[in-house]
A = this chain, B = another copy of it.
């Protein structure tokens, strides 16, 4: 399998998980968090899925397509880990869905990052809310959810946050 093949699989898996999450939180009110704006494609998909919800985006800097940049009131610039407490202070435990795509690809760095990420998200996600991630998170107290049809195990990760 080429890198093009695996990239397409990952993008298709991401979209399938986002679309499934939209159905799963249909009766869970609350905001959406996108960790890692990147080029803004996923943010644009979230806008399409959740036209009536607030979407807050986190990234070190803005490198997205001009059409895919949130207004200043919905952007937390800086290290995601440093800005999540600010979001918690402002939003409280009112988030229905988090999509995380902030791994560095370096396992040791990511283990530290994700270890800090999970409790910070615990302060933001409401009971019944979901966390989606392109990499496994050390979240023993969250319920792993089955992936949508066609998405192989460990290609993406969906968690339900308990009450």
Residues of A in contact with B (beta carbons under 8 Å apart) = 1-5, 7-8, 11-12, 14-15, 40-42, 44-45, 47-48, 65, 67-68
Contacts and interface: CB of A to CB of B under 8 A. Distances in A.
Copies in the complex: 2
A12 B8 contact: yes
Nearest to A47: B2
Contacts of A68: 3
B11 A15 contact: no
Contact of A45 (B2, B15, B40, B48): B2
Nearest to A6: B41
A8 B5 CA distance: 11
Contacts of A5: 15, 45
